[in-house]
A and B are shown apart, each in its own frame.
Chain A
């Protein structure tokens, strides 16, 4: 039987996919999650400022970075939300940026708590 985490359809990140990608290496998984916990909030804050300032160039760059780390983590829907911001920034659609950023915020809100929960669980 699968663990409860994998069967929850609303999980923000696909734990099974990520575990497969790291070849079931729990240590590497923890290392990647630690990198994520550090880089993700920082990049989000920078993106938020760029969006607020209608800085299209940096909004495109930062959303691209977020898309990369989110898709590596297996957070597919959040990665799509970041991709949407990148597209809008490239297209110069300043007006829609804030809405797209908020959508990304919603998609990723549960991410860090989930990761923390997971890391606490494996530590036991």
Chain B
């Protein structure tokens, strides 16, 4: 584990350095508070620090205060080294953000024990961060398929629509629904239904680029967002996605199943300033059309005729379809 030592006095610094190296630490030794702060601000810098109280540039408490003002970086456990030892000084040191203090000259055994306390705190922080990340994933992803969940995909679609308007680029929104999925659940059971949903999620993910989004909108409904997608290629891309489901059977514990999806599609570039709810309502209408047309197909929703003229030119392919 890396540890930073900041002490302007060469003899004490060398003694400290050697003592810590013997205890198995990877030691970074500096001679003033400014250098200490630089080391602590580095990416993957030391997370344990022994800071002498009295130093040129920044003193120990000043380094502590500076480190504590940043909130985004990992916690640094800081121990002040002091020859002072009065109660007022101790309080001042701890108030500046230090976790502990040691009186010089230090006892090697006590020093090591106190650093182990620091390591326990850091381990605790690591576990909390890990748990928080896990919770964050759970809060934004669907448990069954690990795709983005409805809330997360809605947030992303909203953001992408704003961006595509701002940058005059096109976002393509696809709403896909597994055809006759209810029959799978009813005849083969929910376990097989779940297997099907997981496989469909994987195929959808496999058929888009890394910067597109795939989310589970509800039961057997999926949203695919193709970011910055040329409208001339939108239909082709959507067809590829549809075929990624229909082109080969889905293997389940009860044998292979031939399944298909119906897709409703919308191009943001021809849609004007509508809310995400209105847009999804309209894509849903296109999906309904696809179902009514016999399923396993794609339908595109076009803007209502009353829509204001658009600032951005409508691409040729879209104009022809009207």
Query: Contact residues of A with B, CB < 8 Å?
Result: 21-23, 25, 28, 31-32, 35-36, 39, 61, 64-65, 67-69, 71-74, 83
Within 8 A of A (CB), among B158-211: none
Find out whether the CB atom of A68 lies under 8 angstroms from the CB atom of B18. Answer: no
Find out whether the CB atom of B14 lies under 8 angstroms from the CB atom of A71. Answer: no
Find out whether the CB atom of B108 lies under 8 angstroms from the CB atom of A71. Answer: no
Q: Which residues does chain A contribute within 8 Å of B19, judged by CB atoms?
A: 21, 23
Contact flag A39-B54 (CB < 8 Å), given A22-B18, A72-B104, A72-B105: no
A75 to chain B, nearest CB (A): 10
**B70 contacts partner chain A, Cβ-Cβ < 8 Å:** no
Contact flag A35-B11 (CB < 8 Å), given A23-B108, A72-B104, A83-B83: yes
CA distance A73 to B11 in the complex (A): 8
Contact flag A39-B10 (CB < 8 Å), given A68-B104, A71-B105, A72-B105: yes
**B66 contacts partner chain A, Cβ-Cβ < 8 Å:** no
Within 8 A of A (CB), among B1-37: 7-12, 14-15, 18-19, 22
Query: Contact residues of B with A, CB < 8 Å?
Result: 7-12, 14-15, 18-19, 22, 52, 54, 83, 104-105, 108
Q: Which of A25, A69, A83 contacts B12 (CB 8 A)?
A: A69
CA distance A36 to B13 in the complex (A): 12
CA distance A83 to B83 in the complex (A): 9
Q: Which residues does chain B contribute within 8 Å of A71, judged by CB atoms?
A: 83, 104-105
The DSSP consensus for interface residues of chain A is helix
Q: Which of B9, B22, B108 contacts A68 (CB 8 A)?
A: B9
CA distance A72 to B81 in the complex (A): 12
Find out whether the CB atom of B12 lies under 8 angstroms from the CB atom of A68. Answer: yes
Beyond known contacts A39-B10, A68-B104, A74-B105: 19 more, CB 8 A cutoff? A21-B15, A22-B18, A23-B19, A23-B108, A25-B18, A28-B18, A31-B14, A32-B14, A35-B10, A35-B14, A39-B9, A64-B83, A68-B7, A68-B83, A69-B9, A69-B11, A71-B83, A72-B11, A72-B104
Contact flag A72-B12 (CB < 8 Å), given A21-B105, A23-B22, A23-B108: yes
Contact flag A65-B15 (CB < 8 Å), given A23-B108, A72-B105: no
B15 to chain A, nearest CB (A): 6
Contact flag A39-B83 (CB < 8 Å), given A23-B22, A23-B108, A72-B104: no
